[in-house]
Amino acid sequence: MTVRALHLSGPVLVGPDEVVGQAWVVGGRLTFERPPAAVDVVELPGWVVPGLVDAHCHVGIGAHGWVDDATSEAQAVADRDVGALLLRDAGSASQTRWMDEREDLPRIVRAGRHLARTRRYLRGLAHEIEPEDLVEHVRVEARRGDGWVKLVGDWIDRSTGDLAPCWPADVLAAGVAAAHELGVRVTVHQFGEEGVEDLLAAGVDGIEHGTGLTAPTVAEVAARGVAVVPTLVNIATFPDIAARGEAKFPTYAAHVRALHERRYATVAALHEAGAPVFAGTDAGSVLPHGLVVDELHELVTAGLPTLAALDAATWAARRWLRRPALEEAASADLLVLDADPRTDLGTLRAPRAVVLRGRVVGGA
């Protein structure tokens, strides 16, 4: 039986500042050792980077809740085709475990289903519960996910007409502690300023969106090493959200516009403070999948250097999610590009090859 291998003639970017000349893919795995002469080698020249990470998306949900398997598959394929080969599903009402058996679909790190207060989130997407039920539901979702639980930290409070926290501080602390006891990390949807201090005091591991972070909370986020996924392509929809809510909730509309206006400054401040920032799109509920490269360009617009933006969706993101990048014997999940993406993110728009589990599944 003839053994086939891919020869990645490089350069191979095994880290932001670490380049090796070449590598091979044998049996779906990456190796830096030349295979025996008897192996049938297929040449695949070009710059090699790890498959991209979309650290906040939702496979299996749409604007009105869960979607069928065919739609879920189409979402995953859209991500794969732009080179997003590792997805952190930050909350889904659908069961997508069947995708793990598909060698042609991206790997998914799940956070279970959103946990939100009653009538304080998008209808049909979350378990809507009251504070006394949070710990119990955290334990359930911790066992359903892949090392993460997702809380909705704030949402519009219709009684006040503005964003407001969803959970009392003591309940948050108990919920986070319950997750940590099970070895699971907690990330939290947070738009506004109010309640961030409670999240940090509770010991959350991540903040999604983070538009309401201020100078003091940015400093605290950085000091604690709390990861932030800004989802800037999603925050771009805030003016439309404000316009839809203007007549009924004018205070909320003005608040959302203000958060949108300072979005880039907030992300720049996080980067300058040394906080971990990762690329995520929030695709699935409103936005289509396949936008991770757009998010990288948004991070650059916000002030991140090109290399930092790339790192936010490759080496650093994989390390944060405890998944390998370009390492000996790791699954060959990678992109082959025409140019060095550390200086030209545009080359990510048209990968020469998308390689997943050692198989070429896309590319020019």
CATH number at residue 11: 2.30.40.10
* 149-163 average pLDDT score: 96
Q: Is the pLDDT of residue 192 over 80?
A: yes
**Mind listing the pLDDT tens digit for each residue in 268-322?**
999 999 999 999 999 998 899 999 999 999 999 999 999 999 999 999 999 999 9
- What does the alpha-carbon distance between residue 88 and residue 57 come to, in Å, rounded to a whole number? 6
* SS3 at position 163: strand
Same domain, 294 and 276: yes
Same domain, 146 and 279: yes
Residue 361 DSSP one-character state: E
Q: Is the pLDDT of residue 213 over 80?
A: yes
pLDDT of residue 163: 97
For residues 14 and 156, membership in a common domain is answered with no
Residues 176 and 306 in one domain: yes
Contact status, residue 293 vs residue 232, Cβ threshold 8 Å: no
The length of the chain, given as a count of residues? 364
Shared domain for 56 and 142, answered yes or no, is yes
Q: Are residue 223 and residue 175 in the same domain, yes or no?
A: yes
CB 134 within 8 A of CB 99: no
For the residues 94-111, what does the mean pLDDT come to?
95
Note whether 172 and 227 are within 8 A (CB): no
As a whole number, mean pLDDT of residues 31-59 equals 92
Same domain, 188 and 230: yes
Shared-domain flag, residues 328 and 308: no
Please give the share of the chain, as a percent, with pLDDT higher than 90: 89
Lowest mean pLDDT among 12-16, 63-67, 83-87, 263-267: 63-67
> Are 129 and 198 members of one domain?
yes
User: Domain check: are 30 and 102 in the same one?
Assistant: no
Residue 1: its pLDDT value, please? 39
Domain assignment of residue 32, given as a range: 4-49+324-362
Tell me: do 206 and 284 sit in the same domain: yes
**What integer pLDDT is reported at residue 38 of this predicted model?**
64
The answer to whether the peptide bond before residue 11 is cis (omega within 30 degrees of 0) is: yes
The neighbour count for residue 97, using CB atoms within 10 Å, is 11
Of the listed ranges 86-100, 223-237, 269-283, the least confidently predicted one is 86-100
For the chain, the domain total comes to: 2
Q: pTM to 2 decimals?
A: 0.96
Residue 76: enclosing H or E segment and its boundaries?
helix 69-81
pLDDT score for 37 = 72
Average pLDDT value over all residues in the chain = 95
| Residue 22 scores a pLDDT above 90 | yes
Phi, psi (5° rounding) for residue 249? -130, 70
Which DSSP string corresponds to 36-61?
PTTSEEEE--SEEEEPEEEEEE-TTE
- Residue (of 179, 107, 175) closest to 143 by Cα position: 179
| pLDDT attached to residue 3 | 57
CATH number at residue 163: 3.20.20.140
- Residue 203: is its pLDDT beyond 50? yes
Q: What is the pLDDT of residues 327-353, one digit of tens each?
A: 999 999 999 999 999 999 999 999 999
> SS3 for 214?
coil
**Same domain, residue pair 17 and 96:** no
Position 4 scores a pLDDT of: 82
